[in-house]
């Protein structure tokens, strides 16, 4: 086998490890398509990883996953990957939710911590040479995105105080967070099942006055985000139409 082929396989094995680390379940067909190789080649790669001691669990008909508790050493970022994150930070800073801005900054700081010195210097230079035009008018902000994200992935019911468009008073809602939608007006919008309305509704985050966690759980919704948006577009022309 040529040195070039060996190198390609080594890169692919590392990439498969990264996929196993970042996803709960990895499908052989998806990996084959991603790396433009045959499924048989993926099977051989998985066997190689298993032989060198990576504890990979196989689920017939579903795919592969890393054994619970197995940790892979931190991934080193390339200069291009770090640059992409630094550039994206400027766009993140434009969004209307301060919790997302703070969390992203903490994540970028961790990325910077694992860079070598020469790359650190380049990333620092780039961060001072990227700017994005600010919004032309001051718009309301929010600080609840991070808390709602946690509730969404943990299937926790939230109690929120919400002021609907055109109303001066807020109402209390029990909601089941479902998905997020970034509107054409550049607002973060939460799609959630509202127990008051007994249906899915869209809530602009900047109109949520307060978010209160609860111990109540809800069953994962079978509806997909794509299905919801398609249905909303069919009935209301654009997903940006508010129904809360």
Nearest C-alpha neighbor of 145 from the set 177, 110, 185, 186 = 177
What pLDDT is attached to residue 5? 66
Residue 41, burial from CB neighbour count under 10 angstroms (0-12, 13-18, 19+): middle
* Confidence at residue 195, expressed as pLDDT on a 0 to 100 scale: 95
In this prediction, residue 207 carries a pLDDT of: 92
Query: Can you give the pLDDT at residue 54?
Result: 85
Q: What confidence score (pLDDT) does residue 22 get? A: 74
As a residue count, the chain comes to 244
Contact 202, 191 (CB under 8 A): yes
Handedness of CA 126, 128, 130, 135 (dihedral sign): positive
Which residue positions in the chain have pLDDT lower than 50?
1
Give residue 39's Cα distance to chain centre.
28
- Burial of 64: CB neighbours in 10 Å, binned 0-12, 13-18, 19+: buried
How confident is the model at residue 8, as a pLDDT? Answer: 76
CA distances from 1 to 4, 42, 47, 132, 170 (A): 8, 17, 18, 49, 69
What's the first-to-final CA gap in the chain, in angstroms? 62
Prediction pTM value: 0.66
């Amino acid at each position: 086998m040529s040195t070039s082929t060996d190198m390609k396989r080594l890169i692919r094995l590392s990439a498969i490890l990264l996929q196993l680390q970042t996803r709960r379940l990895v499908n052989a067909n998806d990996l084959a398509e991603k790396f433009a190789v045959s499924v048989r080649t993926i099977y051989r790669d998985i066997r190689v990883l298993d032989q060198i001691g990576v504890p990979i669990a196989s689920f017939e008909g579903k795919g592969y996953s890393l054994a619970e508790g197995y940790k892979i050493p931190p991934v080193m970022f390339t200069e291009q990957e770090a640059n992409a994150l630094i550039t994206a930070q400027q766009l993140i800073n434009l969004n209307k939710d301060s919790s997302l801005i703070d969390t992203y900054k903490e994540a970028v700081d961790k990325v910077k911590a694992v860079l070598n010195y020469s790359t650190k210097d380049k990333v620092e230079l780039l961060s001072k040479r990227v700017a994005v035009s600010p919004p032309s008018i001051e718009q309301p902000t929010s600080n609840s995105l991070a808390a709602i994200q946690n509730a969404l992935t943990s299937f926790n019911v939230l109690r929120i105080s919400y002021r609907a468009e055109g109303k001066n008073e807020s109402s209390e809602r029990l909601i089941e967070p479902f998905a997020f939608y970034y509107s054409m007006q550049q607002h973060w919008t939460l799609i959630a099942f509202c127990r008051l309305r007994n249906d899915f509704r869209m809530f602009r985050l900047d109109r949520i006055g307060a978010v209160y966690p609860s111990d109540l759980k809800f069953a994962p919704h079978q509806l997909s985000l794509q299905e919801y948006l398609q249905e909303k577009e069919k009935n209301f022309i654009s997903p940006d139409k508010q129904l809360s």
